[in-house]
Amino acid sequence: MLIEPGKLLAQINSPDELKKFSRDQLVQICEELRQYIIDSVSVYGGHFGASLGVVELTVALHYVLNTPSDQLVWDVGHQAYGHKILTGRRGEFHTNRLYKGISGFPKRKESEYDSFGVGHSSTSISAALGMAMASKYKGDDLKQHVAVIGDGSMTGGMAFEAMNHAGISDTNMIIILNDNCMSIDPNVGALRDYLTDITTSQTYNRFKDDLWRILGKFSKFGSSAQEIISKVEGAVKSALLKQSNLFESLNLRYFGPVDGHDVNHLVEVLNDLKKIPGPKILHCLTVKGKGYDLAEKDQTKWHAPGKFDKITGEISKKIYDTPQPPKYQDVFGHTLVELAEEDDKIMGITPAMPSGSSMNIMMKAMPDRAFDVGIAEQHAVTFSAGLATQGLKPFCNIYSTFMQRAYDQVVHDVCLQNLPVVFCLDRAGFAGADGPTHHGAYDIAYFRCIPNLVISAPMNEEELRNMMFSASKYEGPYSIRYPRGQGVMPDWRTPMREIPTGQGRIIKEGEDVAILTLGHIGNYAIEACEKLEKDGLNPAHYDMRFVKPLDESLLHEVFGKFKKVITVEDGCLMGGFGSAVLEWMMDHNYQAQVKRLGIPDEVIEHGTQLELHRECGFDPDGIAQAVKKLADPISVEK
């Protein structure tokens, strides 16, 4: 079912075509664009609230800027659906986030209008500043560089580092702060309170428009007059807000707050800002989910609701006749509370993902022992390390892809000091429709080289509970990786028991070929073995559980008995679990034919997890085929 655009939107396939419309028509274009996003996401799924909140800003930016020559960077890409629709991708927008379709995030190779690929937060200001510096170096003083950053992304330390640099850069750059008090969950921290102070100061908001008008009148008298009025402006802002302006103190000219849903006023403001030299910040107030009542009222739920009935608001859910396995994240959330009830030293930490990681379960049950630190992964890790120095047991839950941002802190602040921090890496392996920016492909490889760190992966919900219990008793750094989505055990609330560190297990005895798996992907191997038995093959299956330390006694058994071995992992092959097994084999002077299955050394795009596993050859059929080829390569080739 293709979504029909409104009569004005149907005529827009590029920003140049948008510019042909009059200012009076922009409100209707915004209404049609918002409705097109609602219609499309309700039918095909995807992120929802963030793009609805910036419809007017998106239209205004492309109306005023000369994109793609002017550089527009979105932070993060959840906001960019309207941008994609206006820049020539409306006809294929129905493929958004689907296998082989367009990406759910801006992507340089997808469109010249996507000036920078985004998926992780807090990168836009640094990227736009780099672009602005390049233009300055080339002598291109007319090109505009705009970073649109959500207020949630502002809590990332990289944004502050970039603003600190931008303030002394003398570049042609506009930072647009999209202030809606939300990332996926409500924002937290002092910055949120500071922005609220600005937006609710009635005295300041009465004076700000007058100050802008004065600025405009004085600017024609030259640079000295501009310098004087700039100082006056800063002083008045500071006095009215009863505190220094954070952005002005970084030497960024601050404008706002303005109504982010008044498209014509935004056009006026952006046209004015283009004429003011130097780095500037425009503070826009928006509502996440704007234009869809249910999304405005429950912004977390409607961040990415999946398919839904746009009339009733009923979100589509599959109906099952039998109990279904829970999501791994929910097993984590409930198990953490169970552990914390028995051990008052256990604490929970997450960087802005309480609902995504199910840390919100502990935050509700034990609000003084669970912390959302905002989009600040580096801080989350070192904060956890600080807790650990005082005898507490922090469980730091960070998506695998976001843990990359805190790598130095894991090394320097946790592992070198051998502190008992438990890293729970959610969304390990392929993340599905979110694509390569969110795939948790690299954590095994980048963690494996760090001293003192245990690396584990559960094959099912029972194993996750046991590993969490074991980690709570372990006196050192311990990581547990598990995938996005459902497990395999409807009856998952099993009694917890301690797993000896580095101990794997035998799932199935066999002959000819041994399959060594790590984590949830072992369930694919069970399915593959069932298929192979029908073909007369009987491979053995070992669930290794740990990459570090490896179960050496189990590996001696494997390589002492088998000359053909397959390793399977939902992680990168370069330096991953299979590499660890090969290294061990060589170090212990074994010889065997080893086939490694996993994520190859290339960027794998988006799709369902099963589609991506199949593409990389480690779905059940892929594992079965690998066993057949290793066991009898001649017959397979025939």
- Please give the positions annotated as active site: 288, 377, 405
* Helix, coil or strand: residue 388: helix
Among 22, 571, 13, 551, CA closest to 263: 22
Q: How far is Cα 283 from Cα 123, in angstroms, rounded to an integer?
A: 18
186 near 355, Cβ under 8 Å? Answer: no
Cα torsion 256, 257, 260, 264: sign: negative
Q: Measuring CA to CA, which residue among 568, 564, 581, 565 is closest to residue 617?
A: 568
Asked if 177 and 53 touch (Cβ cutoff 8 Å), the reply is no
Give the separation between CA 252 and CA 163, rounded to whole angstroms: 8
Nearest to 407 by CA among 427, 372, 382: 382
Structure tokens at 636: 């397979």
Q: Report the alpha-carbon angle 515-516-517, nearest 5.
A: 115
DSSP string, 419-476: --PEEEEET-B--STT-TTT-B-SHHHHHHTSTT-EEE--SSHHHHHHHHHHHHH-SS
Q: Does residue 349 sit in helix, strand or coil? A: strand
Give the sheet arrangement for strand 454-456, strand by strand. Answer: 370-372, 346-350, 393-399, 422-426, 478-481, 454-456, 546-548
Contact 39, 310 (CB under 8 A): yes
Going 299 to 300 to 305 to 309, the CA torsion angle's sign is negative
Distance between CA atoms of residues 629 and 252, nearest Å: 63
CB-CB contact of 123 with 375 (8 Å): no
Question: Among 579, 187, 147, 482, which Cα is nearest to 354's?
Answer: 187
DSSP character for 251?
Answer: T
DSSP state of 152: T
Residue 397 host element (H or E):
strand 393-399
Distances (CA, A) of 361 to 348, 463, 484: 10, 20, 17
- The β-bridge partners of 398 are 425
User: In terms of Cα–Cα distance, which of 52, 48, 106, 119 is closest to 300?
Assistant: 48
The pair phi, psi for residue 593, each rounded to 5°, is -90, 115
Measuring CA to CA, which residue among 427, 520, 507 is closest to residue 467?
520
Q: Write out the two tokens for 516.
A: 């060594």
Name which of 284, 367, 602, 324 is nearest 485 in CA terms.
324
